[in-house]
Amino acid sequence: MKLKNDMQLFFAEKIEGETAFLSETESRHCLKVLRKKEGDCLQVTDGRGICYTGELFIIKKRLAAIGKLAVVDQQERRHPLLSLAIAPTKNNSRLEWLLEKAVEIGLDELQPFVSKHSERRKINERRLSDIAVSAMKQSGRYQLPEIQPLVKLEDLLDSQIDGKVMNLVGSQSSDMDISEIDLSGKNKIRLFIGPEGDFSEEEWSLMHQKDFVFVNLGNFRLRTETAGMVGVTLINSLINKI
Amino acid sequence: MKLKNDMQLFFAEKIEGETAFLSETESRHCLKVLRKKEGDCLQVTDGRGICYTGELFIIKKRLAAIGKLAVVDQQERRHPLLSLAIAPTKNNSRLEWLLEKAVEIGLDELQPFVSKHSERRKINERRLSDIAVSAMKQSGRYQLPEIQPLVKLEDLLDSQIDGKVMNLVGSQSSDMDISEIDLSGKNKIRLFIGPEGDFSEEEWSLMHQKDFVFVNLGNFRLRTETAGMVGVTLINSLINKI
């Protein structure tokens, strides 16, 4: 499935005038791993929809930049945005692969939360950001998904009063198929996936009160990260049809 | 998302009369890891749709069986069956997690193949079978997906003359959405996913001649295992609507 890509894609958060400044991580990847040389022609994205080509130059020993930028391609942000609110898995690597896959597919935002039965109450935001950057580049996207800070589920539920956000929650007892959902007038679709130990009774009840839409994700019992993956795939497919 | 399950589910290939004989692996898991004792009440599936309860007894030191079986639940095989034909990934663990997820979702068959640009030309069938068993039990399924032996893609393509098998292939240049496919009259839907280096020109051309349906799996460039995952999720969702 991987298309041939003649030029490597880099990411630069900081673009000033005609110059994109690579971070230390991106510079190391560019200079040490891929052994790019001054004057090489590279592609770089700002993670906000634009892809440029330009020429590599070295600012100092371990820091690279890409100059003489010219826009070569653009991607508009799709609407509605696709957000995944999920309790981090006990095993870090399961959340990490979910993020990698979800970014390839089209995720716009990851919102980790801690709920009553969460087994993991800390995340490595920096590592998740690096995975998002890497998956964005690998999949040829120019939009970098946002990794939100970890919050308490109750705080997240309290803040949900925007009528343009549609909140879905994966529930095995629901018969509602994601393909039946009406996305019109929404600017964000947020899917909530509970922790390995499931949401608590109070949490389910609060989501009911907040008019969450309970959606079915399949016939069988899914692991947390599989449920996230299935939900993101099905909602993404629905957004693509708009 | 994980439901509470009061009783652990085991798998036994060999069931004779009222007794299910656990394999060495299942016996070890039962006796050493879960520390089950003689007389404990357990659930066991034959992987062909039936779930029994019964009483644990020990045949000899490391071999367990479950006796006094009584059927407690059944799952019919869905039709059409969902088969994934895929080139094993260079990195084994990527194929392994794809299999785990695909089994949780509803996969019925994995058909690994070697094609012109395949980087990996061997698989560990035993390990894949163990993963399939583990994912089946974890997801509460009673149907064990089949892991077919690794074959050459050309041999697989030569053998496709059964009109009841619909062959799909993931292709980024296709506009065909999986949700538009008509599954009626088919008894198997098989999705082909190419290797990291993509199918060769000859392979694409052969699939065209064989009336394969080229389907789009999304907007961005997907890794082999992500493409497999997305395809399985979307086809599974379509089968569930029949």
Q: What is the pLDDT of residues B121-174, one digit of tens each?
A: 899 999 999 999 999 999 999 999 999 999 999 999 887 667 799 999 999 889
Asked whether residue B118 carries a pLDDT value surpassing 70, the answer given is: yes
Chain B residue numbers touching A194 (CB-CB < 8 A): 1
Q: Which of A43, A58, A74 is the last residue of a domain?
A: A74
CB spacing of A226 vs B141 below 8 angstroms? no
Residue A108 lies in a domain: yes
Please name which of B165, B144, B80, B157 lies closest in space to residue B113, comparing C-alpha atoms: B157
Q: Give the confidence band of A6 by pLDDT, cuts at 50, 70, 90.
A: low
Distance CA B85, CA A208 (A): 41
% chain B with pLDDT above 70 = 96
Give φ, ψ of A26 to 5 degrees.
-65, -35
If asked whether residues B115 and B216 sit together in one domain, one would say yes
B193 and chain A in contact, CB less than 8 A: yes
* Minimum CA–CA partner of A170 in chain B: B1
Per-residue pLDDT of A134-167, as tens digits, reads: 999 999 999 999 999 999 999 998 876 677 999 9
**Which residue in this structure is represented by tokens 């080229």?**
B214
**Which residue in this structure is represented by tokens 């583990």?**
B134
> Contact, A42 vs A29, CB < 8 A?
no
Mutate to test the interface with B, among A77, A86, A226, A234 (most CBs of B within 10 A): A226
Residue B186 lies in a domain: yes
What residue type is assigned to position A166 of the chain? M
Residue A199 lies in a domain: yes
pLDDT of residue B112: 97
Alpha-carbon gap: B183 to the closest alpha carbon of chain A (Å): 17
Asked whether residue A78 carries a pLDDT value surpassing 60, the answer given is: yes
Q: Which CATH number do you get for residue B67?
A: 2.40.240.20
B86 and chain A in contact, CB less than 8 A: no
Q: Give the confidence band of A61 by pLDDT, cuts at 50, 70, 90.
A: confident
Distance CA B231, CA B218 (A): 10
Residue A162 lies in a domain: yes
No. of H helices and E strands in chain B?
6, 13
Residue A1 lies in a domain: no
B146 and chain A in contact, CB less than 8 A: no
Asked whether residue A68 carries a pLDDT value surpassing 70, the answer given is: yes
Distance CA B134, CA B104 (A): 10
CB spacing of A233 vs B236 below 8 angstroms? no
H or E element that contains A68: strand A63-74
% chain B with pLDDT above 90 = 86
Please name which of A147, A131, A143 lies closest in space to residue A85, comparing C-alpha atoms: A147
Instruction: Kindly report the number of other CB atoms within 10 A of residue B231's CB atom.
Output: 28
Chain A residue numbers touching B196 (CB-CB < 8 A): 2
If asked whether residues B68 and B144 sit together in one domain, one would say no
Per-residue pLDDT of B8-52, as tens digits, reads: 899 999 999 999 999 999 999 999 999 999 999 999 999 999 999
Alpha-carbon gap: A50 to the closest alpha carbon of chain B (Å): 15
> Contact, A21 vs A56, CB < 8 A?
no
Query: Which of B193, B233, B240 lies closest to A233 in CB terms?
Result: B233
Q: Distance between the two ends of chain B, CA-based, in angstroms?
A: 25
- For chain A, the domain total comes to 2
Distance CA B104, CA A78 (A): 30
Domain of residue B226, residue span: 81-240
Chain A residue numbers touching B217 (CB-CB < 8 A): 1
Q: Which of B48, B74, B100 is the last residue of a domain?
A: B74
Asked whether residue A105 carries a pLDDT value surpassing 90, the answer given is: yes
Query: Which of B1, B219, B222 lies closest to A172 in CB terms?
Result: B1
Alpha-carbon gap: B222 to the closest alpha carbon of chain A (Å): 6
Residue A161: both structure tokens together = 């009063």
The 3-class SS string of B112-160 reads EEECCCCCCCCCCHHHHHHHHHHHHHHCCCCECCEECCCEEHHHHHHCC
If asked whether residues B117 and B226 sit together in one domain, one would say yes
If asked whether residues B28 and B127 sit together in one domain, one would say no
Query: Which of B139, B224, B230 lies closest to A221 in CB terms?
Result: B139
Q: What is the mean pLDDT of chain A?
A: 92
A84 and chain B in contact, CB less than 8 A: no
If asked whether residues A179 and A231 sit together in one domain, one would say yes
Chain B residue numbers touching A222 (CB-CB < 8 A): 1-2, 104-105, 139
> Contact, B161 vs B126, CB < 8 A?
no
Largest CA distance in chain A: 60
If asked whether residues A46 and A139 sit together in one domain, one would say no
Q: Which CATH number do you get for residue B151?
A: 3.40.1280.10
Burial B23-53 (b: 16+ CB within 10 A, else e): beebbebbbeeeebeeebebbbbbbeebbbb
Q: Give the confidence band of B61 by pLDDT, cuts at 50, 70, 90.
A: confident
Q: What is the mean pLDDT of chain B?
A: 92
pLDDT of residue B4: 36
CB spacing of A1 vs B222 below 8 angstroms? yes
If asked whether residues B46 and B88 sit together in one domain, one would say no
Residue A2 lies in a domain: no
Distance CA A186, CA A188 (A): 6
If asked whether residues A60 and A106 sit together in one domain, one would say no
Distance CA B230, CA A97 (A): 14
* Minimum CA–CA partner of A176 in chain B: B241
If asked whether residues A200 and A117 sit together in one domain, one would say yes
pLDDT of residue B241: 87
The 3-class SS string of chain B reads CCCCCCCCEEECCEEECCEEECCHHHHHHHHHHCCCCCCCEEEEECCECEEEEEEEEEEECCEEEEEEEEEEEECCCCCCEEEEEECCCCCHHHHHHHHHHHHHHCCCEEEEEECCCCCCCCCCHHHHHHHHHHHHHHCCCCECCEECCCEEHHHHHHCCCCCCEEEEEECCCCCCEHHHCCCCCCCEEEEEECCCCCCCHHHHHHHHHCCCEEEECCCCCCCHHHHHHHHHHHHHHHHHCC
Alpha-carbon gap: A10 to the closest alpha carbon of chain B (Å): 16
Residue A4 lies in a domain: no
| Cis amide bond preceding A195, omega within 30 | no
B206 and chain A in contact, CB less than 8 A: no
If asked whether residues B217 and B107 sit together in one domain, one would say yes
Distance CA B80, CA B164 (A): 9
B101 and chain A in contact, CB less than 8 A: yes
Residue A19: both structure tokens together = 């110059």
> Contact, A54 vs A160, CB < 8 A?
no
Query: In angstroms, what is the C-alpha Rg of chain B?
Result: 20
CB spacing of A1 vs B224 below 8 angstroms? yes
Residue B4 lies in a domain: no
If asked whether residues B57 and B154 sit together in one domain, one would say no
If asked whether residues B179 and B220 sit together in one domain, one would say yes
Q: Which of B74, B92, B118 is the last residue of a domain?
A: B74
Per-residue pLDDT of A25-57, as tens digits, reads: 999 999 999 999 999 999 999 999 999 999 999
Q: What is the dihedral of CA A131, B175, B99, B11, to 10 degrees?
A: 140
Alpha-carbon gap: B17 to the closest alpha carbon of chain A (Å): 28
Q: Which residues partner with A56 through β-bridges?
A: A66
